[in-house]
Chain A
Amino acid sequence: MIAHIVRKELREIFRTSKMTWMMGGLLVLIALSLYNGYSYYVSHSQMLKESQEVTYKQFISQGNKNPHLGAHFGFYAYKPTAGLAMIDNGIEDYTGNSFYLEPHKRGIIKFKEVTDATSLKSFGFLNIAYLIQFIFPLFIFLICHNIFSKEWENGTIKMLLSSRATKRDIYIGKLIACLCVVFAIIAIIAVTAFMLLLKSDADLGAVIYNYLIYVSGLIVFSAILTSVAVSVSLITRSSTLSLVVLSGCWLAGVFLIPRLAAEISKKVHPSITSIEFEADTFNKMQYGVDGEGTKDYRRELLLRRTLQQYHVDSIQQLPVFFIPITIEYFEESDGKVMDRAYGAIEQNQAQQDALVRSLSLFSPFLAFRDFSMHMTATDMDTHNDFAQKAEEHRRRIGVMVDDFYQKNTEATNAFWKTVPQFRYEPPDTFRRLAASIEAIGVLLCWVVGTIVLMIFSYRRMKI
């Protein structure tokens, strides 16, 4: 009986011209999203790979220079484009991907692409993630909003309930019919995206599990939305009202709640301004923390210690150069100040993010967005992980150069070549899953909530 109902519903859904138009439009959007996402991946991954090599080659072939001056020429650590960025490029354009490895300065990630974009960027970036998180839910609602309400409006509900089909059969049949349409669209997306993944130079072995988890999450997400739409259609008993309610939910969940949550988190955990940050770190580096004294005082102490260490009386008698020793010393002490300052910023941002995530309880769209970014490694955690590893690399180079500088005043390409190239591997599947645990938790809460809503609506299926 359920199969009969499913067939009947599918026939009815596909018979309407609005459905043909909608599906046609959706297929065009899927094609555009895949194309756009793939182009993004190809151009970005190629550019970053090439730039990583170019900047390193420039560094190791800079010729004879004072080691410290040469180290200031530095090179860049680039965050490689994530293999699944063709599906979801997450916050990549907002974080930047270039980390300058230079002495004295804790690197920061630069060149946010969004700052060089036009105002069109604020309308989003059409790729599969955008389609799934913003547009596809509305399509689900448009497809399912009248699955039950049409029966009331046409007066066919009495006929349906008096047929051999039980209430359960009707409910499950209609739900399955809607899910068939929705899952068919997901299948098209998943298969075509996978084919593009195969075509690209992404390391399939490294991303395949993440991709499968992502698709599983997508199935759960769309099942939640479909079930909500079917339940609302049953509760409201009017196609127009259910359309208005579902569109309202979509608008609130997709735009309103995330943006409001972001504003609330900015108010609750305000960020420090650049000028305050600069003044604070400058003062701490210059005048010391916890009474350790000014820079001049600390330099004097360092000199005394160094003279004692080499059992000499004057700087000229030192068997090593003193400047690199001071550089290395302040690299370390300034590094601590900067670590604390950057740690405070990261903590502040983590608090802001946590508040937004907690408000995703009101929006499965936001929770899925979070899950999607984690699984495609285009999230804030991966970004912070990259920043941390790049900073470790910067310090490693600093120590190498300063050690060399203690005995040499000129470095040649032979020395520059001993400086290691930077390589970055994003966190593995388990770490990504662990990072997205809150989003998964919220989605599971929504699964439970949807089941409750379905039971509630099912009980209202009576004349």
Chain B
Amino acid sequence: MMNKNMLRIIAKHEIKLLLRNKVLVYLFTIIFFMLLSALWIGSSMHKKQLSTIDKVHAYNKEITDSLVTRIKRIEANNMVYPGFIWDDPTFAYNTARNEGPQYAIKEPFPLQAISIGQSDLQPFYYKVYINKKQYLTYDGEIANSFLQFIGNFDFAFVVIYLFPLLIIVFTYNVLSAEKEQGTWVLLKTSNQSLARLIAFRIAIRYILFMLFFWLLVTTVLVALLGGAFLSTVNWWWTVTYVSLYFAFWFGLSLFVNSFSLSSTVNAMTLIFIWLFTGIIVPNILQIGLNKVYPIPSRISMVNEERKALNSYFEKDGQELTKEVFNNPRTMIRQASVVTPGMVYGYGVIVYKSQEIKDAAAEVAERKLYGQIARQQDAIRQLQLLSPALTLQEQLAAFAGTHWHQFNQFSIAVDTFRKETQRFYFPKMASEQTYRTFTVEDAARIPRFKQQVYAGFDWLNVYIPVFAYAGITGLMIVFGYRRLLHVIK
């Protein structure tokens, strides 16, 4: 057994060696600077979302106050509205279009700062109307497609892509450098086990790396986000997964080193494994899954909706339109003055046709989301093929930015929209109710219960941990055994 003294000597020697390697020191400095930038960028995005949510709340309050004030003024003015009839809030249909729609918000979880995941592509707030799920200016937040295409520079990216390469540079020649520099012969004269020596050198590098990494990351994150996230289970799973990911690369390096090849071949092998598992495997998986579970385009969904609507207007809709449009009370045919009947008529047509559209969309949406969900399930099964993919999936889930969590939010928004429809449709449905929207009604407008959506019960967190811990352990054991052999 190697005694404590010897371990201390090796540790000191390693630290000296690393500090004197200028390439490594520069590389370390650059990558840690990148890490800091990534954390700062992630936290800025998180803060921007929080500030947008504040703006949403302020806007909501302003618009609700304005609605109540206007209704009160009309009621005090014997139900006479001085402006344009389409803006008169005592018409349920008008309120449903104008001030009525409420915002549905997915609150950002603080750990979103470490993995942007799908949060740059999926909206974290919707304005929920009776006739459409969302009404933002764009499909989501206003974003530059070119920049979205380039990708994000977040902690997950730095950890998944950059750190393995740093670890490779850090460890690829632990054994081969000794041979190439001619110090191997000297080492062989030592009375210590050289296999153990090499293994300890890699272990010491791993411990040093971990200590430095987590000290820095935790301190910076606490400074940027406050310390509340430290008490969440998401954080500790994040620490486990990232540490294991690094351990995998250190273990792999030990394994590759144990083949006693030249430094160049070691480096090439490790870079190739990184490229293969980090880029090529996920891409091949993407091709395969798109073949097995092709995701239909939203365009076909729109076509289905329109088809349903057209066939409705060919039959029942024609009757309804005639009834509404030709009705002398609605005076739509007159088309010079907007009458209360006209607002009612439009309201009826809108909600009737919306029911048709929703029914058609539901079928098409089920197809669309069903296929995405199947792909996601398959990814969950196959993620073990790529450590990079595994880590990306888990980090996104712990940060609350996984597709699954956005999907949960989307489902909640759909439910909320139906609730909103149930609130407005009866008030628009008959000539007795369409102009009866009161201050009490304004207070009863359904509000969305905003949530964080950072739970990960749907995710099996143990299998990847055990699988990668097992793979890493096996690589270390086999690598160590090979080292024993190589040294002989």
Q: Which residues of A contact B (CB under 8 A)?
A: 18, 29, 32, 35-36, 47-48, 51, 54-55, 58, 61-66, 69, 73, 76, 78, 90-91, 94-96, 98, 108, 110-126, 130, 134-135, 138, 142, 146, 239-241, 243-244, 247-248, 251, 255-256, 258-263, 265-267, 271-279, 295-296, 299, 315-316, 318, 321-324, 345, 348-349, 352-353, 356, 379-380, 383, 405, 409-410
Say whether B229 faces chain A, with CB atoms less than 8 Å apart. no
Knowing A115-B121, A119-B117, A262-B151 are in contact, say whether A322-B336 is a contact too (CB < 8 A). yes
Binds A, one of B139-147, B193-201, B457-465: B139-147
Contact of B84 among A78, A110, A296 (CB under 8 A): A296
Contact of A315 among B83, B272, B337, B375 (CB under 8 A): B337
Contact of B286 among A76, A123, A248, A322 (CB under 8 A): A123
Interface string of B357-376 (1 = CB under 8 A from A): 00000000000100010011
CA A48 – CA B299 in complex, angstroms?
8
Contact of A409 among B55, B150, B307, B333 (CB under 8 A): B333
Set of chain B residues within 8 Å of A405, measured between Cβ atoms: 335
B22 to chain A, nearest CB (A): 12
- Contact at A265–B299, with CB atoms within 8 Å? no
CA A134 – CA B403 in complex, angstroms?
26
Knowing A108-B137, A115-B139, A352-B147 are in contact, say whether A318-B300 is a contact too (CB < 8 A). no
- Contact at B147–A266, with CB atoms within 8 Å? yes
Knowing A62-B310, A251-B162 are in contact, say whether A118-B372 is a contact too (CB < 8 A). yes
Q: Which residues of B contact A (CB under 8 A)?
A: 23, 27, 34, 37, 41, 44, 52, 55-56, 59, 82-84, 87, 117-118, 121-123, 125, 127, 136-153, 157, 161-162, 165, 169, 172-173, 263-265, 267-268, 271-272, 275, 278-280, 282-287, 289, 295, 297-300, 302-303, 306-307, 309-310, 313-314, 318, 321, 325, 332-338, 346, 349, 368, 372, 375-376, 379, 388-389, 392-393, 396, 402-403
- Contact at A353–B264, with CB atoms within 8 Å? no
Set of chain A residues within 8 Å of B127, measured between Cβ atoms: 278
The 8 nearest A-B residue pairs measured at CB? A123-B282, A321-B335, A94-B145, A126-B283, A259-B153, A120-B286, A111-B298, A239-B264
Contact of B161 among A243, A255, A258, A279 (CB under 8 A): A255
A72 to chain B, nearest CB (A): 9
Smallest CB gap from B296: residue in A:
A116
- Contact at A98–B267, with CB atoms within 8 Å? no
Contacts A/B (CB < 8 Å), 8 sampled: A64-B321, A110-B139, A121-B286, A126-B284, A138-B275, A315-B337, A345-B142, A409-B325
Set of chain B residues within 8 Å of A295, measured between Cβ atoms: 84, 87
A199 to chain B, nearest CB (A): 19
Knowing A118-B376, A119-B379, A260-B37 are in contact, say whether A274-B138 is a contact too (CB < 8 A). yes
Set of chain A residues within 8 Å of B402, measured between Cβ atoms: 119
A-B contact sample (5 more), CB < 8 A, given A271-B143, A322-B336: A58-B310, A123-B283, A123-B389, A258-B151, A409-B334
- Contact at B310–A91, with CB atoms within 8 Å? no
A347 to chain B, nearest CB (A): 12
CA A255 – CA B279 in complex, angstroms?
12
A251 to chain B, nearest CB (A): 6
- Contact at A32–B142, with CB atoms within 8 Å? no
- Contact at A95–B295, with CB atoms within 8 Å? no
Set of chain B residues within 8 Å of A271, measured between Cβ atoms: 141-144
CA A308 – CA B301 in complex, angstroms?
48
CA A247 – CA B298 in complex, angstroms?
40
Knowing A119-B392, A263-B41 are in contact, say whether A51-B165 is a contact too (CB < 8 A). no
- Contact at A278–B137, with CB atoms within 8 Å? yes
B56 to chain A, nearest CB (A): 6
* Residue among A66, A118, A279 with the highest chain B CB neighbour number at 10 A: A118
CA A311 – CA B318 in complex, angstroms?
37
Smallest CB gap from A276: residue in B:
B55
Set of chain A residues within 8 Å of B283, measured between Cβ atoms: 120, 123-126, 130
Set of chain A residues within 8 Å of B143, measured between Cβ atoms: 271
B87 to chain A, nearest CB (A): 8
CA A259 – CA B162 in complex, angstroms?
13
A405 to chain B, nearest CB (A): 7
Smallest CB gap from A408: residue in B:
B335
Knowing A124-B283, A259-B157 are in contact, say whether A244-B169 is a contact too (CB < 8 A). yes
Smallest CB gap from B276: residue in A:
A25
- Contact at A135–B372, with CB atoms within 8 Å? no
Contact of A66 among B122, B146, B297, B321 (CB under 8 A): B321
- Contact at B299–A94, with CB atoms within 8 Å? no
Knowing A55-B306, A64-B318 are in contact, say whether A114-B148 is a contact too (CB < 8 A). yes
- Contact at A118–B289, with CB atoms within 8 Å? yes
Set of chain B residues within 8 Å of A94, measured between Cβ atoms: 145-146, 148-149
- Contact at B299–A274, with CB atoms within 8 Å? no
Set of chain B residues within 8 Å of A256, measured between Cβ atoms: 34, 162
- Contact at A262–B153, with CB atoms within 8 Å? yes
Set of chain B residues within 8 Å of A322, measured between Cβ atoms: 335-337
- Contact at B268–A142, with CB atoms within 8 Å? yes
Knowing A29-B280, A91-B146, A321-B335 are in contact, say whether A66-B302 is a contact too (CB < 8 A). no
B382 to chain A, nearest CB (A): 10
CA A349 – CA B267 in complex, angstroms?
40
CA A243 – CA B172 in complex, angstroms?
12
CA A192 – CA B23 in complex, angstroms?
42
CA A65 – CA B379 in complex, angstroms?
48
- Contact at A277–B142, with CB atoms within 8 Å? yes
- Contact at B313–A135, with CB atoms within 8 Å? no
CA A247 – CA B266 in complex, angstroms?
14
Smallest CB gap from B307: residue in A:
A58
Contact of A274 among B142, B309, B321, B388 (CB under 8 A): B142
Set of chain B residues within 8 Å of A316, measured between Cβ atoms: 336-337
Contact of A265 among B140, B147, B310 (CB under 8 A): B147
- Contact at B138–A98, with CB atoms within 8 Å? no
- Contact at B55–A273, with CB atoms within 8 Å? yes
Set of chain A residues within 8 Å of B321, measured between Cβ atoms: 64-66, 69
B326 to chain A, nearest CB (A): 9
- Contact at B299–A47, with CB atoms within 8 Å? yes
Contact of B309 among A73, A122, A248 (CB under 8 A): A73
CA A95 – CA B138 in complex, angstroms?
10
- Contact at B152–A259, with CB atoms within 8 Å? yes
B125 to chain A, nearest CB (A): 8
CA A267 – CA B151 in complex, angstroms?
15
- Contact at A274–B137, with CB atoms within 8 Å? yes
- Contact at B268–A243, with CB atoms within 8 Å? yes
CA A84 – CA B380 in complex, angstroms?
34
CA A315 – CA B478 in complex, angstroms?
92
Smallest CB gap from A316: residue in B:
B336
B159 to chain A, nearest CB (A): 13
B216 to chain A, nearest CB (A): 19
Set of chain B residues within 8 Å of A95, measured between Cβ atoms: 145
Contact of A120 among B136, B145, B285, B337 (CB under 8 A): B285
Contact of A275 among B55, B307, B325, B336 (CB under 8 A): B55
- Contact at A244–B23, with CB atoms within 8 Å? yes
- Contact at A323–B338, with CB atoms within 8 Å? yes
Smallest CB gap from B127: residue in A:
A278
Contact of A98 among B142, B302, B375, B392 (CB under 8 A): B302
Set of chain B residues within 8 Å of A120, measured between Cβ atoms: 282-283, 285-286, 289, 375, 379, 389
- Contact at B279–A135, with CB atoms within 8 Å? yes
Set of chain B residues within 8 Å of A315, measured between Cβ atoms: 336-337
* Residue among B145, B349, B403 with the highest chain A CB neighbour number at 10 A: B145
